[in-house]
A and B are shown apart, each in its own frame.
Chain A
């Protein structure tokens, strides 16, 4: 890692040059909510002026730029008695600007699942390798809980990371590509004062979290609570609409379907992102549904996120961005669900019989 500082004016020039010559996505205000606050999304940008560098948080994550909501895995061409399959792993170069540490951590988690498992995904690899990531720090929102998940800082998975130290950005340069691009612009060595400002900035961010979730020992806890009535209580509120999974930066579950071309001369095999909350997620051939109750479906989403599945090495995959909580119309959010579970167990502890006396 190489550290430099850059004035915000010069940084804009750098970004402007970058986005003018490449396909780029950055945070843009797309709407104004009824609370008067802007609503942001990662959208295509062609000039630095289109990017809101001081944005708060995007409603959806940047996941779909690596795992498209619908992706063609292969094409088939039919000829008489036979058929040919065509597979392409092409991904055009992409610049991604303004990702938060939690977002970059989310991509690192997806790397584990998509690249380091028994069946690496060449589709994901192509996009990941060809994406240039510029991260930016921010002051947490009142409902951000990435610190609880230990995802509030990040030290790999990006090309360049910018910490806001007032009139300048403190740059962590993490790839030769980023260094080569930046050489064309006015960079300075960090001064003693810059270093102090960076440390101060990090301290401020760390101290600004107001939402904390106790996740210590949570995997075991979840196993114990498998039959808790709490799941159906929250399930009764759940609309099974999949919004949580769609905006989540790490939900990667998908469904595969084949679609014939209308002329019947070929077909397309497509992968589309699904959600374990959807009614037919666990429906199998013959029609049996393993999880017909929305409480069970909700539970499995929480299990995948906070207990971990074998496919992600039994690691928690939630990064604490709370996008799911903000997107949920029924106000189901990790903080309240997990606290509810813990509360139930703790109140139950009171009536547990004491340990046997030592003999």
Chain B
């Protein structure tokens, strides 16, 4: 591919995990049909799920997970110092993720519930942009491999990378799905950023907003709709809080 007038270089990339399930990183090894081609674009420097190599010379750092311990802060800062592009990879890194649910209960109670009497150092779950500047967010629980491929291809070919700005409803309607509101459920599709191919509503499961808010989404109207349809506002608030992606809106409301 020389017709563009520049040579294609492999991306020196490293992947790191903090407080998370490592499910987003696992997605990188998914989608077998294009996996060899995808790996062909990458010069993997550090990625414990697929390689034992450890090299601290990398350009792009994918960071999965939220921050819940003080040692994680130091490690993240070191990664930031090295990386030219730091990517918040997945909903935990972008928003704090499911881990943030523990922020709502007393710390001792949370530790006791999970670890019993074992003493564990922990602090409220935060998104990585609270600690270091983030260059790019790829939200999702887990991330969409197809979207990651598009973004990496964009980096390699020096094309602009844009996530969709519109809500999940666009993709959902294109799948001819029955609107889950018509089935009496509260779905976050109308306020959540698209790009997931509406995978949850396509499986008749409501959208829980793992990709965070769509650009300029209409929160007041959404609340009004839930009220007018006689659906539970508490259920709506619980869903909005699930991945912590709507924290700005919820803080604003309360």
Query: CA separation between A263 and B229, bound complex, in Å?
Result: 48
**A167 interface residue (CB < 8 Å to B):** no
Q: Is the CB of B153 within 8 A of A264?
A: yes
A260 close to B169 (CB less than 8 A) = no
Residue A240, interface by CB 8 Å = yes
Which residues of chain B are within 8 angstroms of A30 by Cβ–Cβ distance? 176, 178
- Do B167 and A261 touch (CB < 8 A)? no
B side interface size, CB within 8 A: 44
Q: What's the minimum C-beta distance from B154 to chain A, rounded to whole angstroms?
A: 8
* Number of residues on chain A facing chain B (CB within 8 A): 45
Query: Looking at the complex, which of B33-41, B63-71, B98-106, B116-124 is the stretch in contact with chain A?
Result: B33-41
Interface hits, A261-299 → B, CB 8 Å = 261-265, 273, 275, 278-280, 292, 294
Measured CB to CB, the closest approach of chain A to B89, in angstroms, equals: 18
- Give the secondary structure class of A's interface: loop
* Complex alpha-carbon distance, A278 and B167, angstroms: 9
**Contact present for B34 and A262 (CB under 8 Å):** yes
Asked if A243 lies at the interface with its beta carbon under 8 angstroms from chain B, I say: yes
> Bound state CA distance, A242 and B214, in angstroms?
12
* Contact bitstring B106-140, A, C-beta under 8 A = 1, else 0: 00000000000000000000000000000000000
Q: Tell me which of B150, B179, B191 contacts A239 (CB under 8 A).
A: B191
Q: Which of B151-206 contact A (CB under 8 A)?
A: 153, 156-157, 159, 165-167, 169-170, 173-174, 176, 178-179, 181-184, 189-191
- The complex places the Cα of A165 from the Cα of B3 at a distance, in Å, of 64
Please give, as numbers and ranges, the residues of chain A lying within 8 Å of B214 by CB-CB distance.
240, 279
Interface contact A264-B157, CB-CB below 8 Å: yes
CA distance A260 to B181 in the complex (A): 36
Query: CA separation between A155 and B172, bound complex, in Å?
Result: 34
B32 sits at the interface (CB 8 A)? no
Q: Do the beta carbons of B153 and A262 come within 8 Å of each other?
A: yes
CA distance in complex: A82, B176 (Å): 40
Interface-facing stretch out of B12-20, B75-83, B215-223, B245-253: B215-223
Given contacts A240-B216, A246-B170, A262-B37, 4 further A-B contacts (CB under 8 A): A59-B179, A78-B3, A239-B191, A262-B34
User: Which 6 A-B residue pairings sit nearest by Cβ, starting from the closest?
Assistant: A246-B173, A263-B37, A241-B169, A34-B184, A69-B174, A262-B37
**A-side interface residues toward B, CB under 8 Å?**
30-31, 33-34, 39, 41, 43, 59-60, 64, 69-70, 78, 80-83, 236-243, 246-247, 259-265, 273, 275, 278-280, 292, 294, 327, 329-331
